[in-house]
C-alpha cells in the first residue's frame, strides 16, 4: 500500500513537471498558473502545492531537472560535451547545449528569474546566487583557463554566459532560434583559443 502510494506520488510528480514544461513551451510564464498546470496534469491544485510548495518551487524544480541532465552529460557523457575532448571542443559543445536549453526553456528561464526577483526584490542577487549559474560559470571558466591561462577566464565566462539573458539574444531564444547564438559562441571561443597559439 505504501509502495503504491509512493509510485502514485512519483507519477503525479512527473505528470505535473511535464504539464508545466509543455504549458511553458506555448505560453508566456505569467499565464502558467498552478491551476492550469494542475488541470493539464489531471491532478488537484492541492497536489501541486503538496509536491512543490509553490509555483516558484515548481519552476525551480523544472530548471534544476534540466541542469542536472546537463551536469550529468558534462561529468560522464560522451565527448565533446563530456570528458575526453579538447577544452575548446568541450566549450563549444557546452555553449551550444546551453543555447539550445535557452531556446527550449526560454519561457521557463524567464519564469524562474521573475520568481526569483519577485521573491528577493533584488535583481543583483538573482544570477550570481543561482546555483545553476554558478555551476555553469565554473565549468566555462575552467575550460577557458585550460586553453588560455593568460586571460581573465572568470570575466570572459561571465561575458559569454551573460549574452543568454540579454535582449535581443533572449528574444531569439524565446522564438526557438539557438543556432545563431551557438555559431557565434563557437566563433568567439575558437578565436580565443586559437589566439593563444593552442
Can you give the binding site for its own copies, defined by CB under 8 A?
Answer: 123-124, 126-128, 151-152, 155-156, 158-160, 162-163, 165-169, 171, 180-181, 183-184, 187-188, 190-192, 194-195
Q: Nearer Cβ to its own copies, position 93 or 156?
A: 156
CB of residue 146 to its own copies, shortest distance in Å: 16
d(C-alpha 3, C-alpha 156), whole Å? 50
In the complex, least distance from residue 63 CB atom to its own copies, rounded to whole angstroms: 17
Q: Measured from the CB of residue 54, what is the shortest distance to its own copies in angstroms?
A: 23
| CB closer to its own copies, 105 vs 141 | 141
Burial of 66 (0-12, 13-18, 19+ CB in 10 A): middle
CA distances from 128 to 10, 132, 185 (A): 32, 9, 21
How far apart are alpha carbons 176 and 99 in whole angstroms?
10
Complex with its own copies: residue 44 or 194, whichever CB lies closer:
194
Least separation in angstroms between CB 114 and its own copies: 10
Distance of alpha carbon 153 from alpha carbon 150, whole angstroms = 8
Residue 47 or 130: which CB sits closer to its own copies? Answer: 130
- Could you write out the DSSP letters of every residue in 98-121? HHHHHHHTHHHHHHHHHHHHHHH-
Amino acid at each position: 500500500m505504501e509502495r503504491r502510494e509512493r509510485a502514485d506520488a512519483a507519477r503525479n510528480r512527473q505528470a505535473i513537471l511535464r504539464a508545466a514544461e509543455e504549458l511553458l513551451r506555448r505560453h508566456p510564464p505569467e499565464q502558467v498558473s498552478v491551476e492550469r498546470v494542475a488541470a493539464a496534469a489531471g491532478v488537484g491544485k492541492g497536489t501541486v502545492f503538496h509536491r512543490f510548495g509553490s509555483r516558484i518551487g515548481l519552476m525551480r524544480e523544472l530548471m534544476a531537472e534540466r541542469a542536472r541532465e546537463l551536469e550529468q552529460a558534462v561529468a560522464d557523457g560522451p565527448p565533446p560535451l563530456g570528458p575526453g575532448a579538447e577544452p575548446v571542443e568541450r566549450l563549444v559543445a557546452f555553449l551550444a547545449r546551453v543555447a539550445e536549453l535557452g531556446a527550449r526553456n526560454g519561457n521557463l528561464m524567464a519564469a524562474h528569474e521573475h520568481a526569483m526577483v519577485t521573491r528577493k526584490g533584488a535583481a543583483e542577487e538573482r544570477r550570481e546566487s543561482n546555483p545553476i549559474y554558478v555551476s555553469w560559470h565554473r565549468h566555462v571558466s575552467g575550460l577557458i583557463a585550460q586553453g588560455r591561462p593568460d586571460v581573465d577566464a572568470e570575466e570572459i565566462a561571465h561575458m559569454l554566459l551573460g549574452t543568454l539573458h540579454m535582449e535581443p539574444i533572449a528574444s531569439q531564444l524565446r522564438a526557438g532560434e539557438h543556432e545563431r547564438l551557438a555559431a557565434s559562441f563557437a566563433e568567439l571561443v575558437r578565436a580565443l583559443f586559437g589566439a593563444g597559439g593552442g
